[in-house]
Amino acid sequence: MARSETPTRPERPHARRKREDPPTPQPITTSRKRATRQPAAQPPRAHARPPFYDFAAFEQRWSEEWEARGLYRVDIDHPRKPYYNLMMFPYPSAEGLHVGNVYAFVGSDIHGRWMSMRGYDVFEPMGFDAFGIHSENFAIQRGEHPASLTARNVARFRETQLKRIGNRFDWSHEVNTTDPGYYRWTQWIFTQLFRMGLAVRKTGVVNWCPNDRTVLADEQVINGHCERCGALVERRALPHWALRITHYADSLLDNLDALDWSERVKAAQRNWIGRSYGVEFSLPVAGRVELGVAVFTTRPDTIFGVTFVVLAPEHPLVDEITTPERRGAIAAYRTEAAARRVARQQARDRDVDEPATPPTGVFTGAYAIHPMTGEQVPIWVADYVLMEYGTGAIMAVPAHDERDWAFARAMGLPVRFVVQPVGEISAPDAPYTGEGVLVTSEQYTGQGSREASEAICVWFEESGTGRRMARYHLRDWLISRQRYWGPPVPIIYCPEHGAVPVPEDQLPVRLPDLEDYRPSGTGGSPLARIESFVNTTCPVCGQPATRDTDVMDNFLDSAWYFLRYPSSDDDAHPWNPERTRTWLPVNMYIGGAEHSVLHLLYARFITMAMHDAGLLDFEEPFTHFRAHGIIALAGKKISKSKGNIVNPDDYINTYGADTLRLYLMFMGPYEQGGEFSDKGVAGAVRFLERVWRLGERDLAAGAPSRDAKRALHQVIRKVSDDTAGLRYNTAIADMMRYSGELEERAMFTREEMTTLLRLMAPYAPFISEEIWHRVGEHGSVHEQPWPEVDEAALRADTVAVVAQVNGKTRGVMTLPTGATEAQAFEAAQALEAVRRALRGQPPIRAIYIPDRLINLVTG
RNA sequence: GCCGGCGUGGCGGAAUGGUAUACGCGGCGGUCUCAAAAACCGCUGCCCUCACGGGCUUAAGGGUUCGAGUCCCUUCGCCGGCACCA
């Protein structure tokens, strides 16, 4: 949302996990890539001629008329058939809405308009994700306060851009995350999470962005870089608040199966949550039985192949077990490993393929006792084991793991094969990482990998020395930000009562109006400098206390905004229970795939937590989600840093909003995106002009002819199906084709004209309405029912049947509908081309698909 | 390496296992014009042929089928997600 790349964030079109895009060219950027200075934007490149009709006049007129009539305002309390059509609200940047936003919003609006014509009360709200570091940094650069800057950007977005693109927004439910009436509830949600034990105070190593001078969540670090500015993230120990999203790891993963979401987004979430099942157990340290090395493995079947144990360099046990004579070597290695970690990250930044460096490590001098064999195996320290994953230590099985193999080879450690591939001899000079049959594994010898894994897990459980468990890639969501432009963390620290949430009746904790709101860079936030803010009293005992001085991650703002829209005017609840029952969960959510593991994951988490708090009666906020595609220009993603921004205003001014809508949707499949070429705009102009001219012709009264009616219902069928499936490009293609067909006729009826206008209404709302009235119709075209397909009208007397010989098409015949095989056979053989292809050979077989084709096979 | 998706004219892209290249852009030719633009009409995958006609073509190779862009296998390439994940 705020952070969105394609749809809402100009500087990084998509690919949130890819560092390729240089950071926004802000002066304070310390980024690793040259901030390619580009001309701000390319001039409007008007290759096509503007339409001949006066779009500016009627687009303005209809906007006003619709607003005056409240055409898009739903009856929020008493809808007959509620349908919540949601799109990702934008972050109001200084650059303005860009064409990627318009692409996202128009595609979603077509869906909403279509559902509305099908009789639903469609709620299509819009709002602004206006808190965040981006606004704050821009404000710093301009020397202006973020509040005034944000207010101006919001006004520009709403009045000069969003209101002109032709969407059926219900502005009476606008939300703005910087409004105290909104962030009051963001803070309230935090206090609920605190009471549930889902918001916890931690001190530990965190991701620190030196450029933005704040900590970041795991999801906001892309290959070691700040998701926002691209600076290399450092590791620092800082106290912070974390939301325990990991508590919901299983639900977040398992619920995905039942959600109707774009597959690529579900796949990304599965990868990110990254669950793996295994067993965790402890290996006692020889001679120090009070100590144990906890390890996690997904392959218990390889346990008899353990020949050594490895600890991560930062592992706390290292100091305890290292023998005195090994201490020097270990200390040196730890220093070296830390340096290598940084160097490796920098190599990745330069997109240099890391040379396959030989593994490194040092022996601790200590030994661990194998829990099943009692054998002693050496304990090493090596940096191929990561402190961040699992227990920070591993049981090494060089025979059956690539990395352990490489390490054993380099260090001269023994290798013991205990799993054999079925039906073949394993190569003795390479690890075998697949499953197979166990050998030299005591009582498990002869069992298959699966069976043995299960039995070994049971052994651990029964002996009380280990337990089955799942490990996840997902980490808790760190939400403290040492910045200014966000909702303050609603916590008060009392010497006696510790961290106390601010009581509900004292919310919001208002963000004070600061003159100097720049981040300090010391790990403290700007709010810490304001004594009147910091000093307060404990809500429990009334004694002097201090406030938390951080603000919350602005992804928390957007993690619940969809709950607020229907209740935006309710001051007593974050979401009105009655309205929430009526409108939620969201029926259709359309947005960018770059939010797969950011906004979309956070929103699911908050919804689950509020469900567990008894505050919502559903677990999943979005039953249907569709990821739209990306717009490219000359083969490159549209991105501010590439200097190829396309400004939608220019196109709306020159060609009208309908033309831009049509063109954008015609570029390619909506879920795939496409190539923006403003030469292509001419096609949209010509199409709309053609329909305009059709509207100026004399319309015949009465019903269309049978053939005309069939053609009409064919286009209804095609446009209906394609609109339903978000295949807007092919729906438009068929309307273009049909309008050309009408144009060639000497005469067509009112029914045909008005039906075409109804089909076009979701796509080109202004011109459809204008022509609707010009041909003398009443009411709004947008209040008309969507045309129904008349199946009977689709049936024809004759049909084109293809004649093939041995699978090759040799001709086309016109046959009566439902012709028999004998008729088709005879007709096919009468064709000159068929006779030639048969070369006098009689067909030995015929495949007949009625009304489709006949294939004569000579054998 | 694992996971998700994709590969079709000069370009964006169409095709429930059944006439591949719809629709649009661009290009070429024509009409109109003193001329140009716009508009309108026609042609436009590749090869052979004056023509009639024929052959080939959906990244490459194989398979299933009467028939494959579509289904299956192998390989290559592109986009996206994850990644010393134990």
pLDDT in tens, A523-575: 678 888 889 999 999 999 999 999 999 999 999 999 999 999 999 999 999 99
- A779 CA to B15 C1' in angstroms comes to 39
Task: Name the residue with tokens 């059709």.
Answer: A694
Which nucleotide is at minimal CA–C1' distance from A857?
B66
The predicted pLDDT at position A796 comes to 84
The predicted pLDDT at position A37 comes to 26
The CA-atom distances, in angstroms, between A392 and each of A218, A238, A380, A460, A473 are: 18, 21, 12, 20, 13
Task: Name the residue with tokens 């298959």.
Answer: A448
Evaluate if residue A352 carries a pLDDT over 60: no
Which nucleotide is at minimal CA–C1' distance from A673?
B12
Report the alpha-carbon distance of residue A251 to residue A285 in Å, rounded. 37
Query: Of A687, A798, A684, A797, which Cα lies nearest the Cα of A742?
Result: A687
- A18 CA to B57 C1' in angstroms comes to 37
Q: What is the pLDDT of residues A248-300, one digit of tens each?
A: 999 999 999 899 999 889 999 999 999 999 999 999 998 888 899 999 999 99
- A680 CA to B45 C1' in angstroms comes to 21
The predicted pLDDT at position A636 comes to 58
Instruction: Using a pLDDT cut of 90, give the percent of chain A over it.
Output: 61
Query: Of A173, A191, A188, A123, which Cα lies nearest the Cα of A564?
Result: A173
8 Å CB contact between A373 and A304 = yes
Angle between helices A706-724 and A99-117 (to 10 degrees): 120
The predicted pLDDT at position A29 comes to 24
The CA-atom distances, in angstroms, between A663 and each of A54, A59, A364, A627, A685 are: 18, 17, 67, 19, 9
ipTM of the complex: 0.94
Which nucleotide is at minimal CA–C1' distance from A404?
B86
More confident residue, A614 or A337: A614
Which nucleotide is at minimal CA–C1' distance from A279?
B86
More confident residue, A717 or A337: A717
Report the alpha-carbon distance of residue A73 to residue A812 in Å, rounded. 53
> Taking the C1' atom of B22, which residue's CA lies nearest?
A733
Contacts of A520 (CB under 8 A, 6+ apart): A213, A482, A526, A528, A529
8 Å CB contact between A78 and A121 = no
Contacts of A611 (CB under 8 A, 6+ apart): A617, A618, A619
> Taking the C1' atom of B79, which residue's CA lies nearest?
A15
Which nucleotide is at minimal CA–C1' distance from A681?
B25
Point out the least confidently predicted range of A366-370, A433-437, A664-668: A433-437
Listing DSSP states for A228-291 in one string gives TT-PBPEEEEEEEEEE-GGGGHHHHHHGGGGSEE-HHHHHHHHHHH--EEEEEEEEEETTEEEE
Stretch A455-478: mean pLDDT: 91
Report the alpha-carbon distance of residue A421 to residue A514 in Å, rounded. 68
Which stretches within A312-395 are classed as H helix? 317-321, 327-349
- A267 CA to B65 C1' in angstroms comes to 34
Which nucleotide is at minimal CA–C1' distance from A812?
B19
A703, exposed or middle or buried, with CB in 10 Å at 0-12, 13-18, 19+? Answer: exposed
Contacts of A726 (CB under 8 A, 6+ apart): A107, A111, A626, A669, A670, A671
Which nucleotide is at minimal CA–C1' distance from A807?
B67
Neighbours of A833 (CB within 10 A): 14
> Taking the C1' atom of B80, which residue's CA lies nearest?
A15
CA A195 to chain centre: 30
- A668 CA to B14 C1' in angstroms comes to 10
The predicted pLDDT at position A220 comes to 84
Stretch A414-426: mean pLDDT: 80
Evaluate if residue A41 carries a pLDDT over 60: no
Report the alpha-carbon distance of residue A507 to residue A189 in Å, rounded. 11
Neighbours of A412 (CB within 10 A): 6
Nucleotides of B under 7 A from a protein CB: 2-5, 11-16, 18-20, 22-26, 38-40, 53-54, 66-68, 79-86
Stretch A719-744: mean pLDDT: 94
Q: What is the pLDDT of residues A689-703, one digit of tens each?
A: 999 999 998 999 899
Report the alpha-carbon distance of residue A609 to residue A612 in Å, rounded. 5
- A433 CA to B63 C1' in angstroms comes to 31
The predicted pLDDT at position A501 comes to 96
Q: What is the pLDDT of residues A308-349, one digit of tens each?
A: 999 999 899 999 999 999 999 999 999 888 888 777 666 555
Report the alpha-carbon distance of residue A761 to residue A769 in Å, rounded. 7
Evaluate if residue A350 carries a pLDDT over 80: no
- A581 CA to B28 C1' in angstroms comes to 63
Which tokens go with A411? 């260090």
Average pLDDT, chain A: 87
Neighbours of A734 (CB within 10 A): 18
Q: What is the pTM (predicted TM-score) of this model? A: 0.90
* Calculated CA dihedral for residues A305, A310, A316, A318, nearest 10 degrees: 110
- A655 CA to B32 C1' in angstroms comes to 27
The predicted pLDDT at position A595 comes to 87
8 Å CB contact between A310 and A381 = yes
The CA-atom distances, in angstroms, between A254 and each of A499, A622, A691 are: 34, 15, 49
Which nucleotide is at minimal CA–C1' distance from A597?
B81
Stretch A825-842: mean pLDDT: 84
Stretch A727-752: mean pLDDT: 93
- A270 CA to B36 C1' in angstroms comes to 61
- A260 CA to B85 C1' in angstroms comes to 28
Contacts of A159 (CB under 8 A, 6+ apart): none
- A677 CA to B36 C1' in angstroms comes to 26
- A822 CA to B66 C1' in angstroms comes to 17
More confident residue, A736 or A523: A736
A67, exposed or middle or buried, with CB in 10 Å at 0-12, 13-18, 19+? Answer: middle
Which nucleotide is at minimal CA–C1' distance from A733?
B23
More confident residue, A221 or A740: A740
Which nucleotide is at minimal CA–C1' distance from A853?
B18
The predicted pLDDT at position A345 comes to 63
- Which amino acid is residue A548, in one-letter code? D
The predicted pLDDT at position A13 comes to 26
8 Å CB contact between A807 and A789 = no
Instruction: Using a pLDDT cut of 70, give the percent of chain A over it.
Output: 90
Query: Of A175, A669, A292, A209, which Cα lies nearest the Cα of A483?
Result: A209
The predicted pLDDT at position A3 comes to 44
Report the alpha-carbon distance of residue A534 to residue A519 in Å, rounded. 16
Listing DSSP states for A558-610 in one string gives TTSHHHHGGGTT-SS-SS-HHHHHHH-SBSEEEEEGGGTTTHHHHHHHHHHHH
8 Å CB contact between A308 and A396 = yes
Q: Work out the pLDDT band at A45, boundaries 50, 70, 90.
A: very low
Q: How many CA atoms lie within 13 A of A204 on its CB side?
A: 10
CA A821 to chain centre: 52
- A829 CA to B49 C1' in angstroms comes to 27
The predicted pLDDT at position A680 comes to 81
The predicted pLDDT at position A514 comes to 82
Neighbours of A826 (CB within 10 A): 12
The predicted pLDDT at position A590 comes to 95
8 Å CB contact between A26 and A209 = no
Contacts of A773 (CB under 8 A, 6+ apart): none
The predicted pLDDT at position A835 comes to 84
The CA-atom distances, in angstroms, between A63 and each of A113, A225, A841 are: 15, 44, 70
Phi-psi domain of A542 (left: phi exceeds 0; alpha: psi -120 through 50; beta: other): left
Can you give A736-757 as a three-state secondary structure string? HHHHHHHHHCCCEEHHHHHHHH
Beta bridge partners of A748: A699
The predicted pLDDT at position A16 comes to 30
Evaluate if residue A28 carries a pLDDT over 50: no
